Chain A
Amino acid sequence: MKQHDPRGWLFVAPACLLLGVVGLIPLVTVINYSFFEIFTLQSRFWIGTEWFRDLITAPRFWASFGRSALFSTFVLCIQIPLGIALALCIPRGRIWAGAALAVLSLPLLVPWNMIPALWLSLMNDDTGILGQWLVGYGWPAAWKDSAVLTWVVILAMDTWHWTSLVVILAYSALTTIPDPLYQAAAIDGARPWQVFRHIQLPRLQHVLLMAVLLRFMDSFMIYTEAFPINAGGPAEASLFLAVDLGEEIKAFNYGPSAARSVLYFLIVLSVAWVFTKVQAKLDDPNPGVP
């Protein structure tokens, strides 16, 4: 059991202070702005919830909301199982495991604004390694005209960029399983699937929950990487939630961008709330008993 001690707050105080300055104060500012029509920061008018009403009645908002939700669903359905599978595939030996993890993590080191540039070069039908090869198999050179193919490229790019994070998290959980458990399973003649279901998966739960949370939020609010691939096209088919916010901020539209920010933060909060509920359920030793 952890020791009960209210002095714990003293230890977290510096962290609260720092996050208060770089997180909470800006957040409160944004919430404040979202109720104003702002011409300059000196002349502004209270307009209540008008920005919010404009926002949630706009079909454009709900369309991009739907696209982002669908994108995140794809991302989770691809990257979480793939990440677990790869973590299970990583060889047991210390040398090879380290080398495999390091190589897989290389994409995390590419500056985010270069990731679309890398993929556009790769998919170039003239000079790109993958582009040239794919065109030989009937991949159209004008793939940017197709909404489906644009999504395929963006999903491949995101999988390339972020799967290694899931692998690192899943692998770290797998290494905590003591060998005797595997030996017992082998003695009982367990099939690989049974080993996974009853020994490995229970150990993975907590870390996977974190991986799902991180991957969900980061893909739901994908901004820097997705837009340059096809400028949100064709016909807005790859226009995700964060793009509009980015555009409004670039134009210094304080009010509308603040309202949008608040709305997005509410999404973050509700996701975090669901996360705590799931976490509490995982921690509950005897589910169903109040």
Chain B
Amino acid sequence: MIPRRAWPVIKLALLGAFILFTSLPLVQMTVLSFTATLAQDGLSLGETTLRNYRAIWADPSLRAAFGNSVAYVLINIAITIPVALPAAFAFARLSFLGDKHLFFSFIAFRITPPVVLTLPIFQLFSVLGIVNSVTGIALAHCLFNLPVSIWILQGFIAAVPREMDETAFLDGYSRPRYIWKILLPQIAPGIAVTAFFCFMFSWVEVVFARILTTTNGKPISMALGAMFGFQTDIGMVMAFTLTSMLPGALLLFAMRNHLSRGFKVGRV
């Protein structure tokens, strides 16, 4: 038997060990990003330098990639949340014919591997004329972000006491007006969490981003991929990877107390 007082120590040790494991590749990345990995500009190999970061700043195509990523993520969030919100309300509050099946078919789209749908999505978007643009990626990413958003939001809505609905309806609120005026302020943190998860899954995605941007509108992940070649400056690659993680890391720490609140109810 393990004595009761030993438990906190064991827990802390396990958590500490895993955090160490988590940080190892990130430390490696940080170290490499400050190292000269190609002998140029009068620097010898392995020297500590800020050159990698200066090179990123000086490269207009990398700056454009950053802008593209920000753009498609924002467009994606702007599409996903307004569409997901009423659906989440319906799943959380109403029962209608086929609601469970519908929810599962949404989830089925989330777990469909993107690579299965890349070819027809590419063709469809070519016809629609949104290939090589940030709109195309933003729309394609709804495939997995919309189901996840509906799932998170319905958890938040289900946590709002039902009495609130009833009071509002007695006061003569219509459903859309109730959602807009009363429910929305109640679940504001939920919307932030949802937007964050949309950002997170969209920012790092590669498969759609690759097939939908062959000439133009390349996001960060594609710019990173293009940096690999005959002579790869791995230090610069790592520096750009680190830079690409900074906005996410800032958001992550801003959201840290709300992160785990969205998944409370795992059912419809």
- For A215-238 the 0/1 string (1 means CB < 8 A from B) is 001100101100000000000000
The main secondary structure of chain A at its interface with chain B is: helix
Chain B residues within 8 Å of A41, by CB? 123
Chain B residues within 8 Å of A108, by CB? 200, 204
- For A18-41 the 0/1 string (1 means CB < 8 A from B) is 110111011101100100000001
30 contacts between A and B (CB under 8 A): A9-B96, A15-B146, A19-B109, A23-B117, A25-B120, A100-B15, A102-B253, A106-B26, A107-B26, A109-B249, A111-B204, A113-B224, A114-B221, A117-B241, A160-B21, A163-B18, A172-B260, A173-B266, A192-B2, A206-B265, A213-B107, A213-B111, A245-B115, A258-B119, A261-B117, A268-B108, A268-B112, A268-B116, A272-B111, A279-B267
The stretch among A69-77, A121-129, A138-146 that forms the contact with chain B is A121-129
Q: A89-B11, A89-B12, A242-B113 are in contact. Are A254 and B119 (CB under 8 A)?
A: yes
Chain B residues within 8 Å of A103, by CB? 19, 22-23
- Contact among B91, B108, B121, B266 for A206, CB-based, below 8 A: B266
A8→B90 contact, CB < 8 A: yes
Q: A85-B14, A172-B260, A272-B111 are in contact. Are A112 and B95 (CB under 8 A)?
A: no
B29→A121 contact, CB < 8 A: yes
Q: Which residues of chain A from 87 to 105 have any CB-CB distance to chain B below 8 Å in the complex?
A: 88-91, 94, 97-105
Q: A26-B120, A268-B112 are in contact. Are A19 and B252 (CB under 8 A)?
A: no
- Contact among B112, B238, B257 for A121, CB-based, below 8 A: B238
- Contact among A101, A111, A246, A279 for B259, CB-based, below 8 A: A101
A88→B11 contact, CB < 8 A: yes
A98→B267 contact, CB < 8 A: no
Given contacts A118-B26, A160-B22, 9 further A-B contacts (CB under 8 A): A4-B95, A7-B96, A29-B124, A112-B205, A210-B266, A242-B113, A268-B112, A272-B104, A275-B107
Chain A residues within 8 Å of B123, by CB? 29, 41
B residues neighboring A (CB under 8 Å): 2, 4, 7, 11-12, 14-15, 18-19, 21-29, 31-32, 79, 82-84, 86-87, 89-91, 93-97, 99-100, 102, 104, 106-113, 115-121, 123-124, 139-140, 142-143, 146-147, 150-151, 200, 203-207, 211, 220-221, 224-225, 228, 234, 237-238, 241, 244-245, 248-249, 252-253, 255-257, 259-267
Closest-by-CB residue of B relative to A99 is B256
In this assembly, does A214 line the interface, its C-beta being within 8 Å of a C-beta of chain B? yes
Q: Within the assembled complex, what's the spacing in Å between the Cα atoms of A128 and B238?
A: 13
In this assembly, does A182 line the interface, its C-beta being within 8 Å of a C-beta of chain B? no
A residues neighboring B (CB under 8 Å): 2-12, 14-16, 18-19, 21-23, 25-27, 29-30, 33, 41, 82, 85-86, 88-91, 94, 97-114, 117-119, 121-122, 127-130, 160, 163-164, 168-169, 171-173, 175-176, 192, 205-210, 213-214, 217-218, 221, 223-224, 242, 245-246, 249, 252, 254, 257-258, 261, 264-265, 268-269, 271-272, 275-276, 279, 282-283
Q: A27-B117, A117-B237, A121-B32 are in contact. Are A112 and B263 (CB under 8 A)?
A: no
- Contact among B12, B95, B225, B267 for A8, CB-based, below 8 A: B95
Q: Within the assembled complex, what's the spacing in Å between the Cα atoms of A21 and B55?
A: 41
Chain A residues within 8 Å of B29, by CB? 118, 121
Chain A residues within 8 Å of B151, by CB? 210
B94→A3 contact, CB < 8 A: yes
A18→B27 contact, CB < 8 A: no
Q: A15-B87, A129-B27, A246-B115 are in contact. Are A114 and B241 (CB under 8 A)?
A: yes
Q: How far is the CB of A277 from chain B (nearest CB, A)?
A: 11
A109→B203 contact, CB < 8 A: yes
Chain B residues within 8 Å of A175, by CB? 260-261, 264
Chain A residues within 8 Å of B203, by CB? 109, 111
Q: Within the assembled complex, what's the spacing in Å between the Cα atoms of A271 and B22?
A: 30
Most buried by A among B28, B121, B205: B28
A249→B118 contact, CB < 8 A: yes
B260→A121 contact, CB < 8 A: no
A102→B104 contact, CB < 8 A: no
Chain A residues within 8 Å of B206, by CB? 111-113, 224
Q: How far is the CB of A162 from chain B (nearest CB, A)?
A: 11
Q: How far is the CB of A114 from chain B (nearest CB, A)?
A: 5
Q: How far is the CB of A165 from chain B (nearest CB, A)?
A: 10
- Contact among B110, B205, B259 for A102, CB-based, below 8 A: B259
Q: How far is the CB of A242 from chain B (nearest CB, A)?
A: 5
Q: Within the assembled complex, what's the spacing in Å between the Cα atoms of A118 and B238?
A: 8
Chain B residues within 8 Å of A90, by CB? 15
Q: A6-B96, A22-B142, A104-B18 are in contact. Are A98 and B257 (CB under 8 A)?
A: yes
Q: Within the assembled complex, what's the spacing in Å between the Cα atoms of A242 and B118?
A: 12
Q: Which 3 residue pairs of A and B lie closest in terms of their CB atoms, listed nearest first? A: A206-B266, A8-B96, A98-B256
B142→A18 contact, CB < 8 A: yes
Chain A residues within 8 Å of B32, by CB? 121, 127
